[in-house]
Chains A and B, each alone.
Chain A
Amino acid sequence: MKLLRYLLLSASALVPLQPVAAECLTRGTGDMGIVIERAAGSLKVVDTSNHSELFRVTGLGDLSHASAVYSRDGRYAFVFGRDGGLTKVDILCGNIVKRLIQSGNSIGGAISQDGSLIAVSNYEPGGVKIFSSTALDLVADIPATEIKDREGKLKGSKTVGLVDAPGNRFAVSLFESGEAWVIDMKQQDAPKIIKHTGIGSLPYDALVTPDGRFYLSGLFGEDGLSLLDLWHPETPARKILQEYGRGEQKLPVYKMPHLEGWAMAGDRAFLPAVGRHEVLIVKRGEWQEEARIKVHSQPVFVMARPDGRQVWVNFAFPDNDTIQVIDTESFEIIKTLKTGKGTLHMEFTPRGEEVWISVRDSDEVQIYDTDSLELLHRLPADKPSGIFFTSRAHQTGL
């Protein structure tokens, strides 16, 4: 079994395709999206105007911690699975176009500015693989800096926080080796990499501002974040918010926060604090802490409604049954929702009038009106986790 698995992995073997659905839809995809069903290895294709399910696509492997990006035409979702699976799904036909196991264990990915490349960040072996978005052919295989593991054996650093940036570039952080790399793919057969070392201890995730300029890596091993200015990619990374929490004892972290999505309201960023029951507010430009908001528990996702008027927060185990809504003007919590145990992810409709929330343990997606903050609808889903709408196709970093 192990040998077979090794052979499969080393050959980036193709997994047999599903039969093509008989009927493909003829419609735009702007009000569509997918909901990951993490335990079943399936996803639902949904219609956000009608709150309805259009297709269920199965056979996507291990989708614990899965994420997705979209082709620029909004027709194809590229789904990154925990088991190293990269699956291209046609959401108009509800079928898998192509699927490959590209590594032993992966964490996420990004699509390039021009839509031609899909990059995947891997845990096992570490590093980044880059594929064509059409046929998923391997374009570049970029190994990570090697570090010594527990037995003293060399292995590639895990890569995290992979995002796209203007200029057909990707930025990525290296967990064990504490680096941030900018990978320039303008020349696809000759990637140019700028490596920033010593950015801080154990970067666990990262994000890029919606304009694609600033790349921020969250640090698990120390206080603060590391900031890279992608307008000046040669300039060394600098640390921000280093004073934050100095000398204070952190709480145990039962779920790593996510930095995906940049909760930006005006020129303020709202960030989850690691190991604390707080959301941090940071002024863009000076990158100084402006305020802290005490919240229900340790935040996991801190996401701004597209108009920036509200920030919605979910929480880590064992307090993952709650959502809080923060007013970005007063910094006050205006609502605490008891959505249910296993509230894992949120996604706003493109202009933000509704938010979809996955609640794993009650096997449903809850849809809220973001103005009245009332529950509008429940949609059944099998252990739902990530929700990804097609509007991401046109947003840098998502």
Chain B
Amino acid sequence: MEIAPHRQAELIYLLRHDCGSCHGMRLEGGLGPALMPERLSDWNSEQLALTILYGRPGTPMPPWRPFLTDKEAYWLAARLKAGLQP
């Protein structure tokens, strides 16, 4: 998956600061669940990418489709599965 380095940096910033407003800047959880690899082990990257893109109806998780391409959501999901350095 080819995503330009500057866009990768933007996506990680978005993840920490905007996803982080519910999931914690260190992704260890908040009003939303933690996004650490062990917590996400029940889902594959595709499922996670769909959750990112379309949200989880009935919960506060919104769809991020307006801000992300499919490719970017997959890339983020894979990064989450692999674990981000603090």
Contacts and interface: CB of A to CB of B under 8 A. Distances in A.
Interface of A: 38-39, 62, 64-65, 82-83, 105, 107, 123-124, 158, 160, 175, 202, 204, 220, 252-256, 317-318, 342, 360
Interface string B46-68: 00000000010000101100110
B37 interface: no
A62 B29 contact: no
B25 interface: yes
Contacts of A38: 25
**Overall SS of chain B's interface:** loop
Given A220-B60, A256-B60, A65 B28 contact: no
Given A62-B24, A64-B24, A256-B60, 15 more contacts: A62-B25, A65-B25, A82-B24, A105-B24, A107-B30, A123-B29, A123-B30, A123-B31, A124-B29, A204-B60, A253-B60, A255-B18, A256-B21, A317-B18, A342-B17
Nearest to B29: A105
Given A62-B24, A105-B24, A254-B62, A175 B31 contact: yes
A174 B63 CA distance: 25
B72 to A, nearest CB: 15
Contacts of B78: none
Interface string B65-82: 011000000000000000
Nearest to B38: A2
A204 B32 CA distance: 11
A178 to B, nearest CB: 14
Q: Which 10 A-B pairs have the closest CB atoms?
A: A64-B25, A252-B62, A317-B18, A255-B21, A62-B26, A82-B24, A105-B29, A64-B20, A254-B62, A252-B63
